[in-house]
Amino acid sequence: MTEQAAGVDLHAALEGEACVLHPGERALVPTGIALEIPPGYEAQVRPRSGLALRHGISLVNSPGTIDADYRGEVGVILINHGNEPFVIENGERIAQLVFARYERARFVEVEELGETERGAGGFGHTGR
Ligand SMILES: O=c1ccn([C@H]2C[C@H](O)[C@@H](COP(=O)(O)OP(=O)(O)OP(=O)(O)O)O2)c(=O)[nH]1
């Protein structure tokens, strides 16, 4: 590959022509691709909004993390949140992959944390 891209589409690479995901069911769908991601980067598997809106198809673990040192096949963990069985066709675009740089952190144990206006308030604490 010579062109640069922010991400890439992921297609179902099934053994047969198609498979069915019944309402409430989840499945690991193979994509037929494997990656060598440079250290310091990860790939994130994200759902497709069209499948989500039209069929209630999403990812169980969104975003899925593809580690830089992972050399296996990228899999997509689809879930059917809709009311109808969803047929996954072989070759169908089921998700998208984007690449992201991440920071490395060094953890230091302390007695107290720095003060802020928010403090420990979270989960809708501001009422807005
Ligand atoms: O949607 C996903 C999520 C993960 N993976 C692969 C690549 C990733 O590098 C590896 C491990 O994923 P993760 O770290 O999320 O899983 P874990 O449950 O923490 O397993 P592990 O102990 O293997 O790290 O599985 C996928 O193919 N698709």
Give per-10-residue mean pLDDT for the chain (128 aa).
80 95 98 96 97 98 97 98 98 96 96 96 85
Mean of pLDDT over the chain: 95
Ligand 1 binding pocket (C-beta < 6 A) is: 45, 61, 64-67, 70, 74-75, 77
65: CA distance to ligand 1 center in Å?
A: 6
Protein residue with least CA distance to atom 10, ligand 1:
66
The C-alpha angle with vertex 30 and arms to 44 and 9, in degrees rounded to 5, equals: 45
Question: Looking at residue 83, what is its pLDDT?
Answer: 97
21 within a domain of the structure (yes/no): yes
**pLDDT by residue (tens digit) across 46-80?**
999 999 999 999 999 999 999 999 999 999 999 99
Atom number of ligand 1 nearest to Cα 64: 1
β strands within the chain, DSSP E = 7-11, 18-21, 26-30, 41-46, 57-59, 64-66, 75-80, 86-89, 93-101
pTM assigned to the model: 0.91
Q: Residue 125 has what pLDDT?
A: 86
pLDDT of residue 117: 92
Residues with Cβ within 8 Å of 49's Cβ and at least 6 positions away in sequence, in order, are none
Q: Is residue 108 part of a domain?
A: no
In a domain, 126, yes or no: no
Number of domains into which the chain is organized: 1
Residue 85 placed within a domain? yes
27: in domain: yes
Question: And the tokens for 63?
Answer: 């975003």
As annotated, the binding site includes: 48-50, 61, 65-67
Q: Would 19 be classed as within a structural domain?
A: yes
pLDDT of residue 3: 75
Domain that holds residue 93: 13-101
Residue 80 sits in a domain whose CATH number is: 2.70.40.10
Taking the centre of ligand 1 as the mean of its atom positions, its distance from the CA of residue 59, in whole angstroms, is: 13
The helices-and-strands tally (H runs, E runs) of the chain is 1, 9
Whole-angstrom Cα distance, residue 59 to residue 76? 7
Is residue 86 a part of any domain in this protein? Answer: yes
Q: Is residue 61 part of a domain?
A: yes
